[in-house]
Chains A and B, each alone.
Chain A
Amino acid sequence: MSRYFLWAAQQGIILSGCSYLPAKLDVERVPIKPIFYGITPEPAVELRFSAGKPLYLLSAEVPLWLAQLLLSMAKPRFQQAAVGCWQRLYFQARVSYLRRRMQSQLLNWEYIRPPAPRVLRSADMHAGDWECCAAMPTPELTSAVLEALKARRLLESELETALARLGAVYDGQLRVLLHHLVLHHILQRESAIALNSYGRLHCRRCGSDRIHWAWCAKCGSHCPFCGDCRNMGVARGCSALYSLTPQMQAHTARHVQAVPKMNLPFALSSAQAAASEQIVSAMRQGAKEITIWAACGAGKTEVVYAAMREVVGRGKRVLLLTPRRDVTAELYARLQGVFGADYVVGLYGAAESNYQASPIMVATTHQAIRLDGAFGLVVLDECDAYPYRTEKMLQNAVGRLARQGGCFIQMTATPSPLLRRHSSRLVYIPARHHGHPLPVPNVLQDTGLRLWRTPEMTQSLPPCPESVIEALIRSRREKAQLLIFVPRRLLVAPLVEALRQVGVERVAGVHSGSENRDEIRTAFKEGQLEAVVATTIFERGLTFPQVNVAVLLAETRQIFDNAALVQMAGRVGRTTTRPQGSVWFTCVQPSQAMRQAIEDIVTLNEMAARAGLLASGYVDVAPGKLKPGEQRGIGDVQA
Chain B
Amino acid sequence: MSKRSSVDPSMSGSRWQRLSGWVWGLLRDAGELVLPQTCVCRLCRRPLPAPPLPFACYVNDLYACLCRECIHSLAWVQPPLCPQCGRPWRHGGLCRFCLRRRHVLQGCSPLVYTGAAQELVRELKFRAVCELGRPLGYIIGAMVRSAMPDWEPQAIIPVPLHADRLAARGYNQAELLSQGVSHFLKKPLLHQALLRTRHTQPQSALSVTERVKNVHAAFHVPHPAVVANKRLLLVDDVHTTGATVHAAASALWHAGATTVRFATLAVAANTADLSER
| A residues neighboring B (CB under 8 Å) | 68-69, 71-73, 75-76, 157, 188, 190, 194-200, 202, 204, 212, 214-218, 223, 225, 230-231, 234, 236, 246, 250, 374, 403-404, 456, 489-490
Residues of B within 8 A of A198 (CB): 18-19, 21-22, 24-25
Write out the residue numbers on chain A whose beta carbons fall within 8 Å of the beta carbon of B8: 68, 71-72, 194
Interface status of B167 (Cβ within 8 A of chain A): yes
- Listed by A's residue number, 5 A-B pairs whose Cβ atoms lie within 8 Å are A198-B25, A217-B171, A218-B168, A218-B170, A225-B128
Q: Counting CB contacts under 8 A, is B4 at the interface?
A: yes
Q: How far is it, in angstroms, between the C-alpha of A250 and the C-alpha of B2 when the chains are bound?
A: 12
Interface residues of B in 121-155 (CB under 8 A from A): 127-131
Given A225-B128, A404-B3, answer yes or no on A217-B10 (Cβ-Cβ < 8 Å).
Answer: no
Residues of A close to B19: CB separation below 8 A: 198
Given contacts A217-B169, A250-B1, A404-B1, contact A72 B69 (CB under 8 A): no
Q: Say what secondary structure dominates the interface of chain A.
A: mixed
The answer, yes or no, to whether B11 is at the interface (CB within 8 Å) is yes
Contact A214 to B130, CB < 8 A, known contacts A195-B10, A196-B10, A246-B4: yes
Chain A residues, Cβ within 8 Å of B172: 217
Is B5 among interface residues, defined by CB-CB distance under 8 A?
Answer: yes
B17 in the interface, Cβ–Cβ < 8 Å? Answer: yes
Range of interface residues on B (Cβ < 8 Å): 20 to 34
7 A-B pairs closest in CB distance: A198-B21, A198-B22, A234-B128, A217-B166, A196-B9, A72-B8, A72-B11
- CB B277 to nearest CB in A, in angstroms, measures 15
When the two chains form the complex, which single residue of B5, B10, B69, B171 contacts A216, counting CB atoms closer than 8 Å?
B171
Which of chain A's residues have a CB closer than 8 A to the CB of B12?
Answer: 197
- Cross-chain contact of A246 among B5, B9, B22, B168 (Cβ < 8 A): B5
- Least CB separation from B5: chain A residue: A246
- Complex-state Cα separation, A403 to B2, whole angstroms: 11
CA distance A292 to B79 in the complex (A): 59
* Given A198-B21, A202-B9, A217-B171, 11 further pairs, Cβ under 8 A: A72-B11, A157-B168, A194-B8, A194-B10, A195-B10, A196-B10, A197-B21, A200-B25, A216-B170, A230-B127, A404-B4
Partner of A218, one of B13, B18, B167: B167
Within 8 Å CB of B18, what residues of A? 197-198
Closest approach, in angstroms, between the C-beta of A370 and any C-beta of chain B? 16
B7 at the interface (CB under 8 A from A): yes
Q: Verify A69–B171 contact, CB threshold 8 A.
A: no
Of all chain B residues, which has the CB nearest A250?
A: B1
B1 touches A196 (CB 8 A): no
Q: Is B103 an interface residue, CB under 8 A from the partner? A: no
Chain A residues contacting B171 (CB-CB under 8 Å) are 214-217
**CB-CB < 8 A to A403: which residues of B?**
3
Please judge, given known A-B contacts A246-B4, A403-B3, A404-B1, whether A217 and B170 are in contact too, CB under 8 Å: yes
Does B44 lie at the interface of the complex (its beta carbon under 8 Å from any beta carbon of A)?
yes
Check B72 for interface membership: any CB of A closer than 8 A: yes
Write out the residue numbers on chain A whose beta carbons fall within 8 Å of the beta carbon of B167. 217-218
Taken together as a complex, chains A and B put the C-alpha atoms of A147 and B122 apart, in Å, by 30
Q: Which B residue's beta carbon lies closest to that of A225?
A: B128
Chain A neighbourhood of B72, CB < 8 A: 456
How far, in Å, is A258 (CB) from chain B's closest CB?
A: 26
Task: Assess the B69–A490 pair: CB atoms within 8 A.
Answer: yes
CB B57 to nearest CB in A, in angstroms, measures 23
Check if B170 sits within 8 Å of A236, measured CB to CB. yes
Minimal beta-carbon separation of B76 from chain A (angstroms)? 15
Partner of B9, one of A73, A197, A212, A230: A197
Which of A75, A199, A250, A456 is in CB contact (< 8 Å) with B22?
A199
Distance in angstroms between the alpha carbons of A73 and B3 in the assembled complex:
19
Residues B9 and A195 in contact, CB atoms below 8 Å apart: yes
A197 touches B13 (CB 8 A): yes
